[in-house]
Structures are given as structure tokens and as C-alpha cells.
Copies of this chain bind each other. A is one copy, B any other.
């Protein structure tokens, strides 16, 4: 028996579902590698096409532009985190335990999982940290939002905020705390790597135990049992 995890971002993000074809999967795989290596700005469909021995025109048949490709990848990532959380919290009743597992899942989502061969989760995690904000800090954010392009993240935030309210029904800002956990996790990892004066944690060779401990520390102080 084998369990196949298939994660599907919003339909409006692509012209043709890339996971359904060879070329599509190569686009996903190598765009992740290229964006992580060179950054989103210097990533172009031309370079991607060259890398996979295809053509610019062919890539454009899957994604209207590179912004939508990035949105697709980032949504894929949050769907992935969501899937991990669902699997790991199955049959766990205690909301406090649940939140610990959520934090642990959030952190471990950055480890490569061989289950999906065309996605390197570790590289994708780097992209979400370094480039993810580009998906929503645009002038088109309201438009994109109305098309459902941030659904994966919103669903996740909603699920986590519910667990927070279960632990402490009097806590005034469950959504703020949920999103802050995600954003802090990203920010503090990035700071640790590039602007270490801005954080107390350290991340050596992608060991994220400090991040996990830090998030748990904050949550424990904020939520009364």
C-alpha cells in the first residue's frame, strides 16, 4: 500500500494543471530550484525553458505569467502544510497538544519529503520565506484575493485560530496570533540567516529546533490553560 498525497492549489492560478503532465511537473520542479537559487527577480520563463530544454511559449501555456506561477507554488506549500497538520493531528483531542503539533508540522514542512518527486519541499520553503510576501504585497492584492488566490493560507489561519480559541476562549486575537505564528516563523528564520542582530534564535544548517522552541514559548505565555 502507498498513500499518495496530492495537493492542489486554486484552479484560477494556472492555464493547465501542471501536475498532470510531464512538462508541467518539470516546470514546477525546476522553477522551484531556479527561484531558490537565483531569486524571483532574476528568474525568467526564458531561463526556465532553457533549463528544461523547452521553450518560453510552452511555459506560457501553463502559467499566464511568473507572478501566477509564484502564487501557485506558495499555495502548494500552504496546502502541503495543511495536509501535514491534518495527518499529524488526526485523533488528537487536546487543543494544547494540537497546537504543539501544528507548530511542529509548520517547522517540519520545510524538510524534503520524497513522496512528491517533483517538489523539493526544502527549496520551496526557502522560496516561501524569501519570496512569499511578493504574492500578496502587490497593487493587485484585492483582485487576487477576490479570485481566491490566498485561500490556502486563509484556510490554514482559520483552522489554527480555532485551536487557539479552544485553548483559551478569552484570548482576544486568535487570528492575529495564528498569522503571527506563521509570519514570525518565516521572519525569524530569515533574520537568523541574513540579519542576525534582529533575532535571538539561530538556524544552523537548517536546524529549526530554535524556531519551534521560540514559537512554543510565545504561545505558552500568551494562552492561559
**Interfacial residues, chain A to chain B (CB-CB below 8 A):** 38-39, 41-42, 130-131, 133-134, 136-139, 141-142, 145, 150, 153-154, 157-158, 172-176, 179-180, 183-184, 187-188, 190-191, 194-195, 197-201, 214, 217-218, 221-222
- CB–CB A141/B194 < 8 A: yes
Which one, B141, B157, B214, contacts A176 given CB within 8 A? B214
A88 to chain B, nearest CB (A): 23
- A150 contacts which chain B residues (CB < 8 A)? 195
Which one, B41, B142, B217, contacts A139 given CB within 8 A? B41
- CB–CB A180/B175 < 8 A: no
Tell whether A139 pairs with B179 under 8 Å between CB atoms, given A154-B195, A197-B154.
no
Number of copies of this chain that the complex holds: 2
Which one, B131, B145, B200, contacts A173 given CB within 8 A? B200
How many angstroms between the C-alpha atoms of A199 and B136 in the bound complex? 15
- A139 contacts which chain B residues (CB < 8 A)? 38-39, 41-42
A207 to chain B, nearest CB (A): 17
